[in-house]
Chain A
Amino acid sequence: MTLLEIDGLRVAFPGRGFRAAPNEVLHGVSLSVAPGETLGLVGESGSGKTTIGRAVLGLVKPSGGAIRFEGREIGGLQGRARRGLSDDIQVVFQDPYSSLNPSLTIGDTLSEPLIIQGATRRDARARVRTLLDQVGLPSDAVERLPREFSGGQRQRVAIARALGPRPKLIVCDEPVSALDLTTQALVMDLLVDIQRQTGVAYLFVSHDLTVIRHISHRVAVLYRGDLVETGAAVDVTSKPEHPYTRTLLLAAPVADPAEQRRRRDERRATASAGVDR
């Protein structure tokens, strides 16, 4: 059974200016996420990968197609009905600096969704302690403000906030892109651990194939609003079928001068052979 099913999703933003034609950024994308699975969504800026995530979260209204969560259409839900989904679908954003309200303490940020769901203050406090422990933060973080934490720590707070209502799906929008290399590895390990423990599914959006490969069971490649390739992570990232996926793979520099030289030559050969991506 699939947890999330996206079928022919289209999203258009209103054009700039009076009576301007709308600007369609997704041209009918279909994909699915199974319970407990990580689907990696990879693409470059402007490919619409973030928009898919925002549509699933209800932050963007689809102009066509369907988004089904546990078989129920959620694409056009508004207001109270949409808010009812908040204990099932959660989010971790890219920027650990702007995704936490600077004037609320970590405790307030973490307990807000719980209290909205109807938890008592006492239960919320206990749950917040468990969550902080789960993401590897000290429990005295409750009293502190976001600006007292580093980027990686803030991202842990954001993950804790997402875990709060025990969701079935977390949309991760480039959660490690803003982090240093060593922090990035730690946060990804944390995400994998949490998934193993709780069985939460991730829709993991990233521009970085290496990150995607490390965390995803399956990978979907987006290019300018269309899905060009989807399949098991091993297949897509080692023997890509679509030329664009191949370009993407060869473009990422590897941390090995000899291997990088080989890859660079291969990429330049491919490019000069006139292979259209």
Chain B
Amino acid sequence: MAQPESERPLTRRIEPVTKSVTAPSTSSIAVARANGGATPRTPLWKKLLRDPQAVVTTGILVVIFALGLLTPLIAPHGPNESVLSMVNAPPGTPGYPLGADESGRDIFSRLLHSINTAAISAILGTGVALIVGITAGLIGGYFGRATRATTEWIFSLIMTFPGLLLLIILMPVTGGDYRATMLIFGVLLAPGIYRIVRNLVLGVKNELYVDAARVSGVGTLRILGRHVLTVVRGPIIIAAAFMVGSTIAVQSGLAFLGVGSLEIPSFGAMISSGFRNLYIAPTQFLWPSLLLGLITASLVLLGNSLRDAFEGSKPKPSKVGAGQRVAEIDAETLAVPPAVLLGVRGLAIAYPTPSGDLIEVVKGVDLDIARGEVLGLVGESGSGKSQTAFATLGVLPNEAVITGGSILFEGRELIGLSDAQMRPLRGKAIAYIPQEPMSNLDPSYRVGSQLVEGVRSALGISKKEAKSRVLALLERCGIADPARTFDSYPHQISGGMAQRVLIAGAVASRPKLLIADEPTTALDVTVQAEILDLLRDLQSELDMAVLIVTHNFGVVADLCDRIAVMRQGRIVETGLAAQIFGDPQHEYTRTLLGAILDESSYRTDPPVTAPTQGGQA
């Protein structure tokens, strides 16, 4: 690798971010905990109060529906009280502030009465949809396969009915009463709610806290009400807000078409009559349209605000390909000895808190890895060890900001490189093995084709060459039947096998540095031992440097030449493996080593023979 850019100044601007590789999840979890862990929750209503959109739309809706409730008091006329002399009276006529319609009925009064019609439609339609949908969703989601299949079938059937048409056809049954129509419409809306609830329940019912409740003797109904429903209520409330809007719209639509009783004042009927008189009295059509539009728009916007409040607002999209975000650094380049393959100096990484401040999770890390050396980066969760590794790979999450330091690979500065500049390094000179092998294989492609793709982009060889190369690598990585694994989908191979596959892919380009993030944590001990053997053999065969991120001192003892112990974003101790294990200097290293359960200690105290049942502690 050439190092033409090693002299470029280290001062950089904040750039928009991105990464092309998804950084594994542990990092974001750790950060979420670091940022939000200690802050007490904000109640939902407080979040809504802070959202101007929610406040304004709720205000509008409250005013409109309050007017509806006050109709008997404030409406100057009855909804069907027609005065012949007032036919098509213009707005401003005394007693008829918005004028009168083609039958001489007061438009203002009819508007107020229409609000009530809309409200009743919404309550009936949404109510039925919620009751039917939630009940069926809970039953279909929580109970066995047969029950689910049955409810599923019924709701699929309901969904096949053409809604509006069915409501019109059923007019003789409902007798034209809009309330009956809305009840039926509620049933037609129920599948939407059913789907939401069923899916959420399916996810929740296998949660351990539901199992724990069952073990505690909590009955099924109570589990559903207390543990399941509380979790699913958010999405239901959001869906209900949208559904209220659509019931009102459908009721108006039907009335506009003239379906149902003409006696009932409603926005649809009013718009329809206004339409007929469009050339005689153009404003007649305006009032009900405005009010209907205001109501439905407010409901949709309120629904969006509710969604934001419940689920958090959508992350902002960011530009692809710009590399990691780097804050202005005025770092004096610290001397890195030439034998060093990777030199990290004063690396600092920060994450923004919800309030916009930056919190540093890595606070000035210095690391050196010589060519062909195995370095173990050890620490507990949240110590920043994975973040350090991701920064080296250039795959920090979008919101992360590198606030200082430098990462020199073969003398070349990696911080501030764009994705395009990073690409020739990643996967070639620097390779990566993840913690969760399964989630790093695409489930919809065969294992072989994924490896071939990587090998070809790294080495630029033909497809055929790449395939024979991959087969040889798979065999080298201890896969008994390489051809069969090559043709398998990821779900057809075991976790240990998947890790072998990923190792094969990582070493395909004979990297100079292999970064392994907890490579054996997800594996069984016997498989772990085999994978460690494989890594050790490959390391000496290819003479590559390895950076192993782990919390397991056994893995470190097995593999590493040197160890760096990390705590709360800082390296507290670095040294040869034998030194660290034999004579740890730092207090924290001693604590960590002391916490390792002793090989030779057994439980010696006998079981308590006379159990003091029910005894207080």
Are these two chains actual partners, yes or no? yes
Q: Which residues of A contact B (CB under 8 A)?
A: 34-38, 44-45, 57-59, 83-87, 89-91, 93-95, 98-104, 109, 112-113, 116-117, 130, 133-134, 144-145, 147-148, 150-151, 158, 161, 164-166, 168, 180-185, 188, 192, 194-201, 207-211, 213-217, 233-234, 237, 247-248, 250-260, 264, 267-268
For residue B212, CB closer than 8 A to chain A, the reply is yes
Partner of B37, one of A58, A147, A253: A147
- When the two chains form their complex, are residues A101 and B230 in contact, meaning their CB atoms are under 8 A apart? yes
A-B contacts, 10 of them at CB < 8 A, read A35-B611, A91-B212, A99-B209, A101-B209, A113-B218, A216-B603, A253-B532, A253-B554, A255-B554, A260-B557
Among A37, A83, A252, A253, max chain B CB count under 10 A is at: A253
- When the two chains form their complex, are residues A253 and B558 in contact, meaning their CB atoms are under 8 A apart? yes
User: Which residues on A sit within 8 Å (CB–CB) of B207?
Assistant: 98-99, 101
- When the two chains form their complex, are residues B557 and A58 in contact, meaning their CB atoms are under 8 A apart? no
- When the two chains form their complex, are residues B615 and A199 in contact, meaning their CB atoms are under 8 A apart? yes
- When the two chains form their complex, are residues A93 and B211 in contact, meaning their CB atoms are under 8 A apart? yes
Q: Given the known A-B contacts A98-B207, A168-B613, A255-B596, are A217 and B603 also in contact in the complex, defined by CB atoms under 8 Å?
A: yes
For residue B606, CB closer than 8 A to chain A, the reply is yes
Q: How far is the CA of A251 from the CA of B554 in the complex (A)?
A: 10
Interface residues of B in 392-432 (CB under 8 A from A): none
Q: How far is the CA of A180 from the CA of B382 in the complex (A)?
A: 10
- When the two chains form their complex, are residues A35 and B617 in contact, meaning their CB atoms are under 8 A apart? no
Partner of A130, one of B218, B381, B552, B617: B617
- When the two chains form their complex, are residues A253 and B552 in contact, meaning their CB atoms are under 8 A apart? yes
Q: Given the known A-B contacts A35-B611, A36-B608, A166-B614, are A248 and B216 also in contact in the complex, defined by CB atoms under 8 Å?
A: no
Q: How far is the CA of A89 from the CA of B217 in the complex (A)?
A: 10
- When the two chains form their complex, are residues B381 and A151 in contact, meaning their CB atoms are under 8 A apart? yes
Extra contacts besides A196-B608, A197-B612 (18): CB < 8 Å: A38-B607, A44-B525, A57-B215, A59-B214, A99-B207, A112-B218, A116-B216, A116-B218, A133-B617, A168-B613, A182-B380, A196-B605, A197-B617, A199-B610, A210-B597, A217-B606, A247-B526, A253-B557
Partner of B553, one of A36, A58, A194, A255: A255
- When the two chains form their complex, are residues B613 and A199 in contact, meaning their CB atoms are under 8 A apart? yes
For residue B38, CB closer than 8 A to chain A, the reply is yes
Q: Given the known A-B contacts A36-B611, A253-B529, are A234 and B602 also in contact in the complex, defined by CB atoms under 8 Å?
A: yes
Q: Given the known A-B contacts A95-B208, A130-B617, A210-B599, are A112 and B216 also in contact in the complex, defined by CB atoms under 8 Å?
A: yes
For residue B314, CB closer than 8 A to chain A, the reply is no
> Which residue of chain A has the shortest Cβ distance to B606 in the bound complex?
A217
User: Which residues on B sit within 8 Å (CB–CB) of A250?
Assistant: 529
Among B41, B526, B601, max chain A CB count under 10 A is at: B526
For residue B444, CB closer than 8 A to chain A, the reply is no
- When the two chains form their complex, are residues A116 and B217 in contact, meaning their CB atoms are under 8 A apart? yes
Q: Given the known A-B contacts A44-B525, A86-B216, are A181 and B38 also in contact in the complex, defined by CB atoms under 8 Å?
A: no
- When the two chains form their complex, are residues A181 and B608 in contact, meaning their CB atoms are under 8 A apart? no
For residue B556, CB closer than 8 A to chain A, the reply is yes
Q: Given the known A-B contacts A103-B231, A168-B611, are A93 and B208 also in contact in the complex, defined by CB atoms under 8 Å?
A: yes
| 8 tightest Cβ-Cβ pairs between the two chains A and B | A199-B611, A253-B554, A86-B217, A113-B216, A255-B553, A36-B608, A99-B208, A37-B607
For residue B325, CB closer than 8 A to chain A, the reply is no
Q: Given the known A-B contacts A91-B215, A260-B558, are A100 and B209 also in contact in the complex, defined by CB atoms under 8 Å?
A: yes
For residue B332, CB closer than 8 A to chain A, the reply is no
Name the distance in Å between A275's Cβ and chain B's nearest Cβ. Answer: 13
Q: How far is the CA of A233 from the CA of B226 in the complex (A)?
A: 42
> Which residue of chain A has the shortest Cβ distance to B616 in the bound complex?
A130
User: Which residues on A sit within 8 Å (CB–CB) of B613?
Assistant: 166, 168, 199
Q: How far is the CA of A260 from the CA of B612 in the complex (A)?
A: 43
User: Which residues on A sit within 8 Å (CB–CB) of B527?
Assistant: 44
- When the two chains form their complex, are residues A252 and B554 in contact, meaning their CB atoms are under 8 A apart? yes
- When the two chains form their complex, are residues A255 and B557 in contact, meaning their CB atoms are under 8 A apart? yes
